[in-house]
């Protein structure tokens, strides 16, 4: 009986593996096609000054508009793209699409705040990070000062020397450098003194339970204080309530984004924000 059970769970296991692997392979080839067919799209989430609620920037967030499955969020395909190497194509597409959109808005006469683009950790080693930015910028005649690159702690920890070099080159183009999801990666604080960054983005998981979780409040306060004394700008992610905004403001965090203010919006719908 034990044997029987063992065999069943074994076959269940292999079956499970096969379907998983199959599903992955399918999705990979679909994703490949998606890039060619222009099924990817960007939404933009506004970023605000928490003190006067002025629009200060926008984060470009990629979505996969699948012909059958509908809108697929990035958490469901970016990790797969990173594993398969498709991330380089996606990043190239994202950089170009963001700059193209900025150009369209500028040509329509809007004053466009800085647009932030997410950089994958996988791009540090194999990618064409710098070329993606420079060629999109020159194709669409966009200045570096119009752009921000969001890198993660994991991006830096893979190869600190290389990361510092790349970040410096982006900075030299005038691009603002932000550390995304700050406080959640595997890293030491030591890099903060070697890395030429402008901005820390406090991860949403620390903001989520304010004001009910005193530990999250303590951590958030500490990140703000540390960032401030290092001369960095601090932006809080995932602000959903007035209480969270008030707490963050009171601790000296001057920037934020979250559903309280605006969800990620299509390029078309963002124009309402640009107009006022
Ligand atoms: P992220 O860069 O930390 O982006 C913030 C995420 O938080 C976005 O999810 C956004 O929709 C969500 N968010 C913003 N405000 C709130 C809020 O008030 N409450 C809640 N619950 N969520 C909020 P999204 O768009 O699903 O993106 C998830 C992650 O996928 C991003 O996290 C980023 O790591 C990655 N990603 C998105 N676009 C790109 C891209 O173009 N390239 C790369 N490499 N990664 C991307
Ligand atoms: Mg981000
Ligand atoms: Mg984040
Ligand atoms: Mg994130």
Residue 74 C-alpha to ligand 1 middle, in angstroms?
Answer: 7
What confidence score (pLDDT) does residue 154 get? 83
* Residue to mutate, 126, 204, 258, ligand 1, most ligand atoms under 8 Å from C-beta: 204
| ∠ CA 35-37-43, rounded to 5° | 65
Phi, psi of 118, rounded to the nearest 5 degrees: -80, 130
Residue 61 C-alpha to ligand 3 middle, in angstroms?
Answer: 11
The Cα–Cα gap between 28 and 32 comes to 6
Give the 3-state secondary structure of residue 21: helix
Q: What is the pLDDT of residues 100-143, one digit of tens each?
A: 999 999 999 999 999 999 999 888 877 799 999 999 999 999 99
Q: How much helix, strand and coil, in percent to the nearest 5, is found in the chain?
A: 55, 20, 30
pTM, two decimals, is 0.93
Residue 64 C-alpha to ligand 1 middle, in angstroms?
Answer: 13
Q: What is the pLDDT of residues 62-109, one digit of tens each?
A: 999 999 999 999 999 999 999 888 999 999 999 999 999 999 999 999
Asked if residues 147 and 138 have their Cβ atoms less than 8 Å apart, the reply is no
Q: What is the pLDDT of residues 245-262, one digit of tens each?
A: 999 999 999 999 999 999
- Over 50: is that where the pLDDT of 145 sits? yes
Quote the ipTM score: 0.98
Per-residue confidence band for 10, with pLDDT thresholds at 50, 70 and 90? low
The pocket around ligand 1, CB under 6 angstroms, is made up of 45, 61-62, 73-75, 78, 94, 118, 120, 150, 180-181, 204, 237-240, 257-259, 264
Q: What is the pLDDT of residues 189-233, one digit of tens each?
A: 888 888 889 999 999 999 999 999 999 999 999 999 999 999 999
């Amino acid at each position: 009986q034990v044997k029987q059970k063992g065999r069943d769970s074994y076959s269940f296991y292999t079956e499970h593996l096969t379907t998983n692997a199959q599903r992955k392979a399918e999705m990979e080839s679909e994703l490949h096609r998606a890039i060619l067919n222009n099924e990817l799209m960007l939404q933009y989430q506004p970023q605000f000054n928490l003190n006067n609620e002025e629009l200060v920037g926008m984060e470009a967030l990629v979505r996969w508009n699948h012909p059958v499955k509908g809108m697929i969020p990035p958490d469901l395909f970016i990790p797969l793209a990173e594993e398969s190497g498709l991330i380089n194509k996606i990043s190239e597409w994202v950089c170009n699409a963001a700059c193209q959109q900025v150009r369209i808005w500028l040509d329509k006469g809007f004053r466009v705040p800085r647009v932030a683009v997410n950089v994958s950790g996988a791009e540090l080693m194999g990618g064409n990070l710098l070329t993606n930015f420079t060629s999109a910028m020159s194709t669409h005649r966009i200045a570096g000062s119009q752009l921000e690159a969001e890198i993660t702690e994991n991006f830096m920890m893979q190869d600190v020397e290389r990361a510092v070099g790349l970040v410096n080159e982006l900075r030299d183009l005038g691009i603002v450098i932000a550390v995304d999801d700050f406080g959640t990666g595997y890293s030491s604080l030591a890099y903060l003194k070697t890395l030429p960054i402008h901005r820390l983005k406090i991860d949403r998981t620390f903001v989520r339970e304010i004001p009910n979780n005193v530990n999250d409040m303590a951590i958030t306060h500490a990140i703000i204080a540390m960032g401030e004394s290092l001369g960095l700008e601090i932006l809080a992610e995932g602000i959903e309530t007035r209480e969270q905004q008030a707490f963050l403001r009171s601790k000296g965090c001057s920037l934020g984004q979250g559903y309280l203010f605006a969800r990620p919006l299509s390029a078309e719908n963002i124009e309402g924000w640009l107009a006022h």
